Structure 1
Amino acid sequence: MVILQNIAKYILTLFLILGLVFSSGVFTVLLYAKVTGKEFLAEPASVVMAEANEGKAAKPADEKPQPPPKPASAMLDAPVVKQLPELPPGCEIVSLTMLLHYYGVNKSKMELVKEMVKDPTPAKWENGQIVYWGNPNTGYVGDVTGKSRGFGVYHSGLFPTLKDNVPTAVDLTQSDFDVIERQIANGFPVIVWTTIDYAVPKKWVTWDTPIGPIETTFMEHAVLMVGYDEQHVYVNDPLSGKKSHPIAKQQFLATWEAMGKQALSYH
């Protein structure tokens, strides 16, 4: 019996010693964590974040949303207005007249002629050639009525008249042609510069102006673009009076680019 009691005391003593060792170790860990701010059992935040982000592809910082698909074709029913007989060299202001009629501003071409910005610089001739005249980027050059020599006006010279009548006017010059077609698809006709015969000019002329020399062609022309498809561009031509007139797209693009990719519209 005495032997059994002694064995029991030894076992109890052993368990007490083991308990003290374990509790001392836990206390040491807790004390270390309190002092250092570190936890032995906590998983590092960087590991957790890495696992959370695992499998997610990083997006480039400069990634831009892609525009929606463009319809293969579009056509607008804009009214046609003729420049003849009152305005033989007035294709630009008459194209603007058609755009405004479609927009809902029912001013006549003759009313808009009065509003159009003009460059009154008179022409100077030498050896049968014009050597000094106005600049179409400033305003209409020459006599739009055709009573004396008239030339035309470019996008920056015509834009103020468009802006005065349509607050949301936009100059799309130098845009990609895809932008022009999307304007049509969204319901906005576009004034575009081309040539009278829709051919790239073979003859160019240069004269000096108050703001520097300009190279251009007397074949310069402006029309109202109202439609497109895969093969053609459709325009209202103020000179011929044709409505939704089809022109081979590649042919038209060549002349539009030759004339500086000029375009005016609105949003």
Structure 2
Amino acid sequence: MKKLNVPYISQKDLYPTGCESVSAVMLLNYLGYAVSVDEFIEKYLECQPFETKENQLFGPDPRQSFCGSPYNEDDFGCYAPVIKKALEKVIGDSYEVIDETGKPTLWLLENYIDQGLPVIYWACIDMREPIIGPEWRLLGTGEVFTWISNEHCMLLVGYDDTHYYFNDPYEGHGVISYPKELVESRHKAQYEMAIGVRKKG
């Protein structure tokens, strides 16, 4: 069993859709960056609101900005490139932020957890089934985008023979474990998105 001791932050009450930001800040705090969740959201995270035009919902591309606001429970979230960009603004030249989307979880364990580094990891809230939808038209291009609901982001901090361990901001009480097969299935449902941070040089 391997488990990293990472400072825990809950998203409950204050950041109902802020799981990506809270997970990023837990990682930053672990690395010694004294940044708060509010500071991360307000100074570094790109957010874009939804608009209704001619009875149609238009919204941002979650690969480019947060869809709505992490403070609003009716809004959505964002994908790995948005968190990578925000982290790069905070982290400066000491670390490299790497979008590890598509890498197997075992690879993440070997290259990050075993090296003492947590991983920002997308799956589904409480490991629920993913739900296809809702849809909106992307601001700028007008193309239809389909969100996969129950999207959730956590910080992968450890593993044993049968489970992965997470600082799960949604749970409100620190480290939680989920069965490996279930985690990998839910991770796949959210495009196997993950972000790692490595010291340069």
For Structure 1 versus Structure 2, the TM-score category normalised by the shorter chain is 0.7 to 0.9
- Corresponding residue pairs, total: 192
Contact kept, 8 Å, 1:190 with 1:225, in 2: the verdict is yes
Q: Which runs of 5+ in 2 are unaligned?
A: none
Cα distance, 1:125 vs. partner? Answer: 7.7
**1:214 offset after TM fit, Å?**
2.3
Residue 232 of structure 1: aligned partner: 163
Structure 2 match to 1:150: 75
Asked if 1:250 is matched to 2:181, the reply is: yes
Shift of 1:121: 4.3
Q: Deviations over 1:204-241 (max 9, x none)?
A: 32222134432223311111110012210100111112
Distance (whole Å) between structure 2 residues aligned to residue 164 and residue 137 of structure 1: 17
User: Which of the residues 96, 101, 107 maps onto 1:173?
Assistant: 101
Distance 2:128 2:53 in 1: 27
Q: CA RMSD in A?
A: 2.0
Residue deviations 1:159-192, cap 9 Å, x none?
Answer: 1111122332111111122221111111110011
CA distance in 2 between counterparts of 1:122 and 1:195 reads 23
Q: 1:134 to 1:250 in 2, by over 3 A?
A: same
Q: Give the aligned residue type for 2:183.
A: F
Q: Specify the alignment match of 2:121 in structure 1.
A: 192
- Asked if 2 retains the 8 angstrom alpha-carbon contact of 1:123 and 1:134, the reply is no
Residues 239 and 131 from structure 1, CA distance in 2 versus in 1: closer, same or farther, beyond 3 angstroms? same
Alpha-carbon distance in structure 2 between the residues aligned to 1:242 and 1:253: 23
CA distance in 2, matches of 1:125, 1:93: 29
What are the within-5 Å matches in structure 2 for residues 1-267 of structure 1?
73-124=1-52, 131-146=57-72, 149-166=74-91, 167-182=95-110, 183-210=112-139, 211=141, 212-267=143-198
Q: Is the CA contact 1:116–1:158 (under 8 Å) kept in the aligned structure 2?
A: no
Q: Separation in 2 of the partners of 1:175 and 1:160?
A: 19
Residue type matched to 2:129 in 1?
V
Structure of larger gyration radius: 1
CA distance in 1, matches of 2:172, 2:162: 22
Query: Residue by residue, what CA displacement relative to the aligned partner does 1:4-51 show, whole Å, maximum 9, x if unpaired?
Result: xxxxxxxxxxxxxxxxxxxxxxxxxxxxxxxxxxxxxxxxxxxxxxxx
Q: Which has the higher contact order (CA 8 A, sep 6+)?
A: 2
Long gaps (5+) in structure 1: 1-72
CA distance in 2, matches of 1:169, 1:176: 18
Compare the two structures and name the one with the higher helix fraction. Answer: 1
Corresponding residue for 1:53? none
3-state SS of paired residue (1:151): coil
Identity among equivalent positions (%) equals: 27
Query: In the alignment, which residue of structure 2 is the partner of 1:41?
Result: none
- CA contact 1:74–1:227 (8 Å) conserved in 2: yes
Q: Which has the higher strand share?
A: 2
Could you tell me whether the CA contact under 8 Å between 1:227 and 1:244 is conserved in 2?
no
Distance across 2 between alignment mates of 1:196 and 1:261: 14
Distance 1:229 1:144, change over 3 A: same
Taking a change above 3 Å as real, the CA distance of residues 258 and 125 of structure 1, as seen in their structure-2 partners, is farther
Q: Tell me if the contact between 1:256 and 1:262 (Cα under 8 Å) persists in the aligned partners.
A: yes
TM-score, scaled to structure 1: 0.67
